[in-house]
Structure 1
Amino acid sequence: MSNLGLQVRQAAPAIDPVVADYAVGYIQHITESTENSVSAQQLDISREVSFLSELLRSAGGETGKVTSFTQKLQDSLTKKLAENQSKNSVTGDTSKRLLDIDLIHNQQRDLDSSMALLQSTKDIGHTGRKMETRVDLKKLQKAEAKIAKKIAKKQNRYVEYEASKLLNQTQDDYESFFLKVNPIEFGSAAGKSKDIKVENFDLYVGEGQRILSDSTLTLAYGRRYGLVGQNGIGKSTLLRALSKRELNVPKHITVLHVEQEIVGDDTPALQSVLDADVWRKQLLSEEGKISERLDEIENLKKEFDEESIEVKKLENEYLDLESHLEEVHNKLSEMESDKAEGRAASILSGLGFSQESQHQATKDFSGGWRMRLSLARALFCKPDLLLLDEPSNMLDVPSITYLANYLQTYPATVLVVSHDRAFLNEVATDIIHQHSERLDYYRGSNFDSFYNTREERLKNQKREYDNQMAYRKHLQVFIDKFRYNAAKSSEAQSRIKKLEKLPILEAPEEEKVITFRFPEPEKLSPPILQLQGVTFGYSPEKLLLKDVDMDVQMNSRIALVGGNGCGKTTLLKVLMQSVTPLDGSVSRNPRLRIGYFAQHHVDAMDLNLNAVTWMSQTYPGKTDEEYRKHLGSFGITGSLGLQKMQLLSGGQKSRVAFASLCLNEPHILILDEPSNHLDTSGLDALTEALKNFKGGILMVSHDVSIIDRVCQEIWVSENGTVRRFPGSIWDYKKYILESADAAGVVSKH
Structure 2
Amino acid sequence: MATCADILRSEFPEIDGQVFDYVTGERGPGGECARGWRGRPARPGPPEPRAPPSAGVLHSGSADFESVDDLVEAVGELLQEVSGDSKDGAGIRAVCQRMFNTLRLAEPQSQGHSQVLLDAPIQLSKMTESYDYGDKVPGLIKRDQSSTVNAKKLEKAEARLKAKQEKRTEKDTLRTAGPPVLEEASASQAGSKKESRLESSGKNKSYDVRIENFDVSFGERVLLTGADVNLAWGRRYGLVGRNGLGKTTLLKMLATRSLRIPAHISLLHVEQEVAGDDTMALQSVLESDTFREGLLQRERQLSAQIAAGRAEGPEAAQLAEIYAKLEEIEADKAPARASVILAGLGFNVKMQQQPTREFSGGWRMRLALARALFARPDLLLLDEPTNMLDVRAILWLENYLQTWPSTILVVSHDRNFLNAVATDIIHLHSQRLDSYRGDFETFIKSKQERLKSQQREYEAQQQYRQHIQVFIDRFRYNANRASQVQSKLKLLEKLPELKPVDKEVEVVIKFPDGFEKFSPPVLQLDEVDFHYDAQHPVFSRLSVSADLESRICVVGENGAGKSTMLKLLMGDLAPVRGIRHAHRNLKIGYFSQHHVEQLDLNVSAVELLARKFPGRPEEEYRHQLGRYGISGELAVRPVASLSGGQKSRVAFAQMTMPCPNFYILDEPTNHLDMETIEALGRALNSFRVRPSAPPSGLPLWMPFLSPSCR
TM normalised by structure 1 equals 0.61
Report the CA distance between 1:487 and its aligned residue.
Answer: 8.5
* Larger displacement relative to structure 2 (659-668 or 366-375): 659-668
User: Could you say which residue in structure 2 is the equivalent of 1:54?
Assistant: none
1:586 pairs with one of 554, 560, 580? 580
Give the corresponding residue for 1:431. Answer: 425
Give the superposition deviation at 1:498: 5.1
In structure 2, what is the Cα distance between the partners aligned to 1:474 and 1:455? 29
Verify the 8 A CA contact 2:556 2:707 in the aligned structure 1: no
- Structure 2 CA distance, aligned partners of 1:380 and 1:678? 28
Mapped to 2, the partners of 1:327 and 1:686 lie a distance apart of: 59
Structure 2 residue 554 is the aligned partner of structure 1 residue 560 = yes
C-alpha displacement at 1:408, in angstroms?
1.3
Check conservation: 1:465, 1:505, Cα contact below 8 A.
Answer: yes
Which whole-Å CA distance do the structure 1 matches of 2:605 and 2:304 have between them? 67
Structure 2 distance, partners of 1:327, 1:217, is 40
How far off is 1:545 after superposition? 1.8
Name the structure 2 match of 1:615: 609
- 1:678 and 2:678 aligned: no
Q: CA RMSD in A?
A: 3.3
1:479 corresponds to which residue?
A: 472
CA gap 1:641/1:285 in 2 versus in 1, 3 angstroms: closer
Q: 1:554 to 1:494 in 2, by over 3 A?
A: farther
Q: Distance in 2 between matches of 1:296 and 1:581?
A: 63
- Residues 617 and 280 (structure 1), Cα distance of their counterparts in 2 relative to 1, 3 Å cut: closer
- Is structure 2 residue 330 aligned with structure 1 residue 283? no
Q: 3-state DSSP class of the match of 2:536? A: coil
> Equivalent residue of 2:425, what SS?
strand
CA contact under 8 A between 2:468 and 2:488: conserved in structure 1? yes
Does residue 249 of structure 2 align to residue 237 of structure 1?
yes
Give the distance between the partners of 1:585 and 1:499, measured in 2 at CA. 79
Q: How does 1:424-463 map to 2 (within 5 A)?
A: 424-443=418-437, 445-463=438-456
Kindly provide the amino acid, as one letter, of the partner of residue 565 in structure 1: G
Q: Counterparts of 1:620 and 1:667 in 2: how far apart (Å)? A: 21
In 1, the alpha carbon distance for the partners of 2:610 and 2:252 equals: 38
Q: CA deviation at 1:207?
A: 5.1
Tell me: CA distance 1:587–1:361, structure 2 relative to 1, closer, same or farther (3 Å).
same
Match of 2:527, SS state, is strand
Contact 1:196 1:217 in 2 (8 A): no
* d(CA) in 1 for partners of 2:635, 2:256: 35
Distance 1:368 1:598, change over 3 A: same
Contact 1:673 1:699 in 2 (8 A): no
Given candidates 520, 524, 543, the residue that maps to 1:526 is: 520
Query: Please, which moves more after superposition, 337-346 or 650-659?
Result: 650-659
For 1:209 and 1:613, how far apart are their aligned partners in 2? Answer: 22
Partner Cα distance (2:600, 2:380) in 1: 36
C-alpha change, 1:228 and 1:617, in structure 2 (3 Å) is same
Counterpart pick for 1:356 among 338, 341, 350: 350
Distance in 2, Cα, partners of 1:368 & 1:338? 30
Aligned-partner Cα distance in 2 for 1:688–1:582: 38
The whole-number CA distance in structure 1 between the counterparts of 2:634 and 2:352 is 45
Matches within 5 A, 1:121-136: none
Is the contact between residue 244 and residue 645 of structure 2 (CA under 8 Å) also seen in structure 1?
Answer: no
Q: Which residue of 2 aligns with 1:344?
A: 338
Contact 1:560 1:700 in 2 (8 A): yes
CA contact (8 A) 1:196 1:249 kept: no
1:629 matched to 2:623: yes
* 1:504 counterpart (492, 497, 504): 497
Q: Map Cα deviations across residues 548-606 of structure 1 (whole Å, 9 max, x no partner).
A: 22232333332222233321111111111222212222333333332211222233333
Cα 1:149–1:417, aligned 2, differ >3 Å: closer, same or farther? closer
What amino acid sits opposite 1:623 in the alignment? P
Q: Which amino acid aligns with 1:364?
A: E
Which residue, out of 556, 571, 577, partners 2:571?
A: 577
Which stretch shows the higher mean deviation, 521-530 or 424-433? 521-530
* Aligned-residue offset at 1:340: 1.4
Map of 2:378 onto structure 1:
384
Tell me the alpha carbon deviations over residues 618-676 of structure 1, each in whole angstroms, 9 at most, x when there is no partner: 23564322332222121121233333433433322221221222233333221112122
Distance 1:423 1:378 in 2: 18
State the Cα distance separating 1:226 from its structure 2 match: 0.9
Whether the 8 Å CA contact 1:609–1:644 is kept in 2: the answer is yes
The aligned residue for residue 696 of structure 1 is 702
C-alpha distance in 2 between matches for 1:525 and 1:573: 23
CA deviation after TM superposition for structure 1 residue 525, in Å: 3.6
Q: Using a 3 Å threshold, how does the CA distance of structure 1 residues 701 and 226 change in structure 2: closer, same or farther?
A: farther
SS of residue paired to 2:680? helix
1:501, CA displacement in angstroms?
4.5
Residue 262 of structure 1 aligns to a residue whose secondary structure is coil
Higher helix share: 1
In the alignment, structure 1 residue 515 sits paired with structure 2 residue 508? yes
Matched letter for residue 214 of structure 2: D
Q: 1:506 to 1:149 in 2, by over 3 A?
A: closer
Which of these two proteins has the greater Rg computed from alpha carbons? Answer: 2
Shift in CA distance, 647/272, structure 1 to aligned 2, threshold 3 Å: closer
| Distance in 2, Cα, partners of 1:489 & 1:510 | 41
User: 3-state DSSP class of the match of 2:278?
Assistant: coil
Tell me if the contact between 1:675 and 1:701 (Cα under 8 Å) persists in the aligned partners.
no
1:394–1:455: structure 2 CA closer, same or farther, 3 Å change rule? Answer: same
Give the superposition deviation at 1:269. 0.9
- Cα distance, 1:326 vs structure 2: 5.0
CA offset at residue 407 of structure 1?
A: 0.9
Q: What is the Cα deviation at residue 489 of structure 1?
A: 7.0
Question: Matches of 1:282 and 1:643 in 2, distance apart?
Answer: 46
Matched, 1:659 2:653: yes
Question: Which of residues 639, 642, 663 in structure 1 aligns to 2:636?
Answer: 642
Report the CA distance shift for 1:408/1:582 in structure 2 as closer, same or farther (over 3 A).
Answer: same
Change (3 A) 1:553 1:447: farther
Q: 1:460 to 1:621 in 2, by over 3 A?
A: farther
Q: Does 1:273 align with 2:285?
A: yes
Q: Is the 8 A contact 2:217 2:224 kept in 1?
A: no
2:540 matches 1:543: no
Task: Please report how far the alpha carbon of residue 202 of structure 1 lies from its aligned counterpart in structure 2 after TM superposition.
Answer: 1.9
Unpaired runs of at least 5, structure 1:
1-147, 159-190, 301-313, 708-728, 730-749
Once the two structures are TM-superposed, the CA of residue 415 in structure 1 deviates from its matched residue by 1.3
Q: In 1, distance between residues paired with 2:654 and 2:467? A: 51
Q: Is the 2:198–2:204 Cα contact (8 Å) retained in structure 1?
A: no
1:200 counterpart = 2:212: yes
| Secondary structure in 1 matching 2:417 | helix
The verdict on how the C-alpha distance between 1:621 and 1:533 changes in structure 2, with shifts beyond 3 A counting, is farther
**Following the alignment from structure 1 to structure 2, what is the Cα–Cα distance between the partners of residues 244 and 664?**
43
Tell me which residue corresponds to 2:681: 687
Aligned 8 A contact 2:211 2:260 in 1: no
Bigger Cα displacement from structure 2, 214-223 vs 257-266: 214-223
* Alpha carbons 1:202, 1:210 under 8 Å: kept: no
Q: 1:482 to 1:201 in 2, by over 3 A?
A: closer
1:465 — aligned with what? 458
Distance 2:302 2:605 in 1: 64
* Cα separation, 1, equivalents of 2:220 and 2:662: 46
Asked if structure 2 preserves the Cα contact closer than 8 Å seen for 1:514 and 1:635, the reply is yes
Distance 2:320 2:478 in 1: 92
Deviation at 1:463, TM superposition (A): 2.9
Percent sequence identity over matched residues?
A: 49
> SS of 1:393's equivalent?
coil
Alpha-carbon spacing, 1:625–1:395, altered in 2? closer, same or farther (3 Å): same
Q: Determine the structure 1 residue equivalent to 2:106.
A: none
Report the Cα distance in structure 2 between the residues aligned to 1:548 and 1:242, rounded to whole angstroms.
49
